[in-house]
Chain A
């Protein structure tokens, strides 16, 4: 056991085979679906562990839904423990990844899965307060942590 970790012994799953090629990172086309979004976020590294969000089952293909007509993307993730204090950081990583890879006019809503967090309502409120998100992204330490989680595509 490593002391100080929120969840010292997470359950790690095997990486899933990719069902299709990953979309190029720099395309900004409107032509994408939920699987494209999932492909872009599945390899984000957990802030605490050297594993991807997919390997820790924080995310699965069912986590992402897209409403093209309304221009909305909804991501629901499942923290590994009920008291995960990293939920805000994970939410920030997801939001930044989408900001960088998908058209800016899409509305992104990020929630923890129902029943997956002890403070579900307050976590959801914080994850979707755009003023708090904007302030957090101006925090150099937090931004560095987010960048590190996003950079590790080769776990």
Chain B
């Protein structure tokens, strides 16, 4: 009989489908958060160095029980340079796309047709990341000009910049909102992560904390980060070949006005990657996926095996799966499906997107 731990270690990543269409590097993929539920087909957006955004949909194959992925729309002739990042609003109706052309476009899904309804201008040059807050009322962008911009969604598809946050000393690679609170984190070429929130007066935004080398943080470019489902932990990935897990304080006395305590370095996951880690994403089920320059996808989970080594240093995370040659070139983005926890999408320099399914090798379970 297999123990629970052995089961964990017998996961495999099965390629469901390879999506072809982009003609250059695919930089990022984003699942529409409200699709794949109640019979609505799953929808994925991808963005590329070919200056386009593609919308992919999972549709049933007629007269069968199977389904397949197909490109439903190509969003082109709006961005004039690489589209680096894309993000769906929480209600799934709007898609934001950030481009090296210094703009962020907002697209509205009108019956399957995507119309560009706004173009956010202000960054001096390349915009590198875009993220919607949990309420859908705020949008954050960041870029090569070292700044982070916060935009407020106004009636009538107007987007007003409410704050321009300076603080990073180099280009900002990624912004990501907390899953429930109006707390923003940003990751930079300056090796640090910054945590931003509204200050006490509630009329402007300020840097609450810098997670840098002085608190055992990353020692090279931080490329991405991801929150766990409850938002009390965060994982970051870096050019320093490590993943780091950060934890908010459980001591209520340390909590600030916004209800979120300071972040502390919990542990470093090192020794698994030997080239830059570009993407990390935490599934709702607790699996951490990473995508790296070594063409591999790796899965990690919190170690529950406390018999071998006492957890004197707190929780640790272990590698449970390494998918060699997941792509033929760098893996730039890995994203878990929002409601089907076994599905993972990845994007690569090879111009391809892949949909993966996590399954048990013995075929026992597909339903963890």
Contact = CB atoms under 8 A, between A and B. Distances in A.
Contact of A138 (B82, B173, B329): B82
A130 to B, nearest CB: 7
A135 to B, nearest CB: 5
A104 B351 CA distance: 12
B144 A135 contact: yes
A138 B81 CA distance: 7
A131 B126 CA distance: 10
Contacts of B330: 130
B82 A134 contact: yes
A125 B221 CA distance: 9
A107 B82 contact: no
Interface in A78-132: 104-105, 107, 125, 129-132
A106 B4 CA distance: 39
Contacts of B239: 125, 129
A131 B275 contact: no
Interface string B82-101: 10100000000000000010
B133 interface: no
Nearest to A122: B170
Contact of A129 (B49, B82, B189, B328): B189
B220 interface: yes
B100 A135 contact: yes
Contacts of A131: 84, 128, 173
B25 interface: yes
A125 B275 CA distance: 13
Nearest to B295: A105
A132 to B, nearest CB: 8
A125 to B, nearest CB: 7
A32 to B, nearest CB: 18
22 contacts: A104-B329, A104-B349, A104-B350, A105-B295, A105-B328, A105-B329, A107-B293, A125-B220, A125-B239, A129-B221, A130-B293, A131-B128, A131-B173, A132-B171, A134-B49, A134-B82, A135-B82, A135-B100, A135-B126, A138-B81, A138-B82, A138-B100
Interface of B: 25, 49, 81-82, 84, 100, 126, 128, 144, 171, 173, 189, 220-221, 239, 275-276, 293-295, 328-330, 349-350
Interface of A: 104-105, 107, 125, 129-132, 134-135, 138
Given A129-B239, A130-B330, 18 more contacts: A104-B329, A104-B349, A105-B295, A105-B328, A107-B275, A107-B294, A125-B189, A129-B189, A130-B293, A131-B173, A134-B25, A134-B49, A134-B100, A135-B82, A135-B100, A135-B144, A138-B82, A138-B100
